[in-house]
Structures are given as C-alpha cells and as structure tokens.
Structure 1
Amino acid sequence: MHRFLVRHLETAAKVPVYARHHWRTLLIRGCVITIAIVLVVVIGKHLDADLPGMEGWIEEQGPWMPVIFCAIFLVASLLCLPADIFVFTAGTLFDLGWGFALAALTEYIAMVIQFFIARGFLKKRIESFMEKHPRFRAIDKAVSKKGLRIGFLLRLGPVPFSPLSYVLGVSRIRFRTYMLASVGMLPSLLAVVYYGVVARHLTRLATGQEHHGWVHYASMIVGAIVALFASVYIARVARKALKDADAL
C-alpha cells in the first residue's frame, strides 16, 4: 500500500500551488467537466431502454446502495484514487442533496482514517518522502505556526485531497485543527456534485424520461458555469494566500 501511496504523493508534489495561468486552468477544467457530462449523456442515451430498469434496481436496494457506494468511494480515497470521479458519480446517482451528503460523509470518514494511518502505520515512510520534497516540508512548518488558516487554504484546492490528508497526518497539526480546516473542501465538493446533477438531468432529457422548459435546463447549465468559475477562483485565491504567507 505504501508504494502505491508514494506514487500518488509524487504526482501531488508536481501540482503547481500558485497557478499564474488562471484562464488556462479554467479552460482545462471546463473541458474536463464538459467531456464528463457529455460522456454520461451519450452512455445514458445508448442505454436508453435499460435506464428505467437500472434506476428501478437502484431504488430496490434501499439504503444498501448508498452504503455500497460510500464503501467503494472510501477505499478509493484511502488509495488516493481521483476523488472527483466518485463525487461526480454521487451527484449523478443521488442528486444534489443526498449526493453532497454522501460524498462529504465519505470524505470525512476517509480523512479521519488517513490521519491515523499516517500518524501511525505509515509515519516513517511518509516522513521519508517529505524530506525529499520541499513543498511538503513547508506544509509541516506552516501548519505548526498557523495550522487552521494554512490547513483551510490547502483544503480549498491547491493540493489533492487524499495525499494532503496523509501529509497533514504526519505534520504537527492537531487533530481538532485538522478536522476544522477540512471545511475548506466543501465548496469544491459541492461544485463537483452539481456537475453530476447536471449530467443526470441532461441524460433524463435526452432519453425522454424528463420534460421541463428550456429555462430549467438553461439555468442548470448556467449554474454549472458559475460553479466552475467560483471553484477555480476560490482555488486561485487560496494559492495566492499561501504564496503570500510563504507557506509553500
């Protein structure tokens, strides 16, 4: 497990903390979101005849379907697999309210487990990795002085969620501060769930299972665009604040 984790930490170490090319980030993220939504709609259209049966089967599982989803998502988070895929899926399967609640609950459970795994079982290995990367050493130094502020800014977007949890786990941050700082992940989490919701509704429209006026769908798409701009802007502000604080 530790080798798999270190590979993902290596990837996280290459993510630029302060993105000067704001519009490039916006364009790339917008393209990724658009492709994801289009793929869901195309697959849904291809499975047109099977969708009612699939949705019926999901409803028949009752509370077990959210439990199964959260369990898979939890394992993926512990292994540092891309969380956005599962957060997006939460919006597609469970809509906005339940999707956000399930995604947030799973992320919080993963965060607690990652903290104690890092502080116990993988402490020496992660510390050894951090010694080779000035950015992560800087995180340890910064959170020892301004744990809540730096932890919150980091959670807003500059560093991938799961690798950051492991790094913070071996830092000098207190567990209570670690948990409070994690509130910073919620805006981006809500935005990605919303993208999944948009994909869900457009799929139902394309397959004839849902009929609303054009204002409904236009407002959903505009909402997705607003969420995209807001999430990129928030991450940019967080990166600039970290740079100004000489945290990274």
Structure 2
Amino acid sequence: MRRAGLVVLALLVVALAVVAQLADIPDGAGLRELVRTAGPAAPVVFLAVCAFGTAVFFPKPVLATAAGLLFGVGWGSVLAIAGFTAGAMIAFTVARMLGRDAIAGWMGERLKVVEEVFARRGVEATLVVRLLPIVPFALANYGAGVTSVRGRDFAVGTALGLVPSTVLAAVLGDALSDLGSPRSIVALSIWAVLAVAGLWWGRSLVKAARVDT
C-alpha cells in the first residue's frame, strides 16, 4: 500500500506537469481580463486562481506579474503570496498523504542528513529551497510533502521565501521577456544573488546537521 501511494503520487505529478505544458494556459493579458470580469470579487478570484494554479503547475511568474499589474505591488504581492502558499500546502498535503511513509523506508545516508535538516530546521530549509530558482516551485511543493518537515514550518518558510521573488515580479512586471532591458538585468542579478545566498545557507545547514549526527 505504501509503494502504491508513492506510485500514484509520481504519476499525478508527471500528469500535472505534462498537462501544464500541453494545456492552453492564458498569458498575463488573458489572466488579467479573467480577473477583471469578476468585479468586486476579483481579489478572492485571483487568490483562488493562484492557489489552484500553484497546485497544478501553472507558471508562477505569470501569476506574480499579473498580481502587480492588477492590484499594485503591495496588495498584489500579498494576494499572490497568500495564494501561492495555499497552493503549496495543497500539494504538500497530497504528497504527505500518498508518499511520505514509502519514502521514509528508503532513506540512504545522504538523504537522512537532509531529512534531519528538514526535521530540525524546517523553516530555514524551506527558505533555502525557495531561494533557489533552479528548483521548480510546484515540484518542490510535492517533494517537501515526502520529507519530515512539519506542515507549519513548511507554510511559514514558503510564505517568507516567496516575498523576494513575488515582489520582484510584481515590481518589474514582464521584464524577463526582454533579456536585454535594464529591468531584466536587474531582475536576473537579484535572482542570482538570492541563488548564491540559498546555496551558501543550504550548505551551512547540511554541515551543521552532519556535525550533530
């Protein structure tokens, strides 16, 4: 039964990723029009779109950019972060229910060190993952569910880790669509700094866990 749950989880993640690639996903303009038609309920609709979209591999930068354009940097960032965190928790909960028990029995020595980091310092470990742009956001949500990180720590770490990238996307809009523009250079530079900081922080956590064990 444990292995069956893990197989179902793997198939679910692959299926969602494939559908996200093949589906006709609306661009920023289409998303903004969809939310505008909701009228006064637009913030609630947008939050729900962010939550559901996050769980099904909808491109997060599109949603973060739309948040800034629709609601302004401040309010838009709050809505996006809340929606992304809710979606992350949906994916986390699904993975925890289906795959955690199976994974726990297959831990090698290196993975046990990572497990120790997530168990003892879940907020920091989650923050590190969020600072690394090379780790797909949606995939990290499902992956975290099979670790020993507490749900509360994962939620807090996710919300805090989303602040830099979400605010940056809301401020700079679609700057990354023009890689030669000054705005895109600023965005890429900041993301590079965050990635380096995440790598350094992650190595420090792993070293500390090895010393403790």
TM-score, normalising length from structure 1? 0.58
Kept in 2: contact 1:151–1:178 (CA 8 A): yes
Aligned counterparts, 1:21-170, within 5 A: 61-123=38-100, 127=103, 139-158=114-133, 159-170=135-146
Equivalent pairs counted in the alignment come to 184
* Larger relative contact order (CA 8 Å, sep ≥ 6): 1
Q: 1:124 and 1:197, CA in 2 relative to 1: closer, same or farther beyond 3 A?
A: same
CA distance in 1, matches of 2:155, 2:130: 11
What is the letter of the counterpart of residue 196 of structure 2?
A: R
Question: Cα distance, 1:78 vs. partner?
Answer: 0.7
Question: Cα distance, 1:100 vs. partner?
Answer: 0.8
Per-residue CA deviation, residues 118-154 of structure 1 (Å, 9 max, x unaligned), is: 21145467x39x9699997764343124323222211
Q: 1:73 and 1:151, CA in 2 relative to 1: closer, same or farther beyond 3 A?
A: closer
CA distance in 2, matches of 1:172, 1:145: 9
CA-based RMSD: 3.9
Question: Cα distance, 1:224 vs. partner?
Answer: 6.3
Per-residue CA deviation, residues 177-218 of structure 1 (Å, 9 max, x unaligned), is: 22222212211111111122879xxxxxxxxxxxxxxxxxxx
Give the aligned partner of residue 210 of structure 2: none
Identity of aligned residues (%): 24
Kept in 2: contact 1:157–1:188 (CA 8 A): no
Match of 2:200 among 237, 240, 247: 240
Query: Would you say 1:5 and 2:13 are equivalent positions?
Result: yes
| Higher-Rg member (1/2) | 1
CA distance in 1, matches of 2:165, 2:130: 9
What is the letter of the counterpart of residue 61 of structure 2?
A: D
Q: 1:138 and 1:192, CA in 2 relative to 1: closer, same or farther beyond 3 A?
A: farther
Match of 1:175 among 151, 155, 172: 151
Structure 1 unmatched runs, 5+: 10-38, 44-53, 200-220
Per-residue CA deviation, residues 161-186 of structure 1 (Å, 9 max, x unaligned), is: 22212222221112222222221221
What is the letter of the counterpart of residue 57 of structure 2?
A: C
Any idea what SS the aligned residue of 2:121 has? helix
